[in-house]
Each structure stands twice: as structure tokens, then as C-alpha cells.
Amino acid sequence: MSAHTNAHASAGALEAALAANGLPADVEARDRLALIRPRSTTAAQAIAARRGQVIALAATHGFSHAALEIVGTREHGAAAPGDAALPGD
């Protein structure tokens, strides 16, 4: 199994583990970094509040680092109410 396939499998397994713990998010593997994108503002808040558990799950699935993308929920590139604009938005 290639490193790319392993990273993809690890990302999928981490997504499943997060979902099983009530933390719905998409996970993108970038080498040993898990980029975690919550599927809703509520999920982002829950993931942030339970960051120790999230980091432990990421480590269990082979990641050495985890990053939480906190962009809020967006539709068609528009910022959600309360989101700060970022360069390039």
C-alpha cells in the first residue's frame, strides 16, 4: 500500500472515529497532518471543546499533527454570520 493510500485510509478512519464520537467533520491528510474541517458551526464548537480527544484520535490513526479549520459554515463562499473575512474571501 502506498503512502498516499495509507494517508487516505487514515483520513477516512479518523473521519469515522470523529463521527462515532458525535464530531462530524471531513478530514484531509497532508502527510502526517490531519486537516479537520467541521461540517457545521456546532461541530466546530464541539471539536474545539473536545480538542484533547480529537488529538488523541488523530494520533491513534497515525497523524502527528492536527489542524482545525475554523471557517464556520459557508455556502457558495459566503461567510457565515459572525465569521471574520479572510484575505482572499
Chain centroid to Cα 89, Å, comes to 20
Query: Is 60 exceeded by the pLDDT of residue 69?
Result: yes
Residue 72: DSSP 8-state: -
Domain ranges of the chain: 3-68
Q: SS3 for 78?
A: strand
Residue 63: DSSP 8-state: -
The reported pTM is 0.73
Q: Return the half-sphere exposure (C-beta side, CA atoms, 13 A cut-off) of residue 36.
A: 31
Of the two residues 40 and 70, the one the predictor is more confident about is: 40
Cα–Cα–Cα angle for 78, 88, 11, nearest 5°? 75
Mean pLDDT of 9-17: 94
Largest CA distance in the chain: 43
In tens, the pLDDT along 17-62 reads 999 999 999 999 999 999 999 999 999 999 999 999 999 999 999 9
61, three cell numbers:
490513526
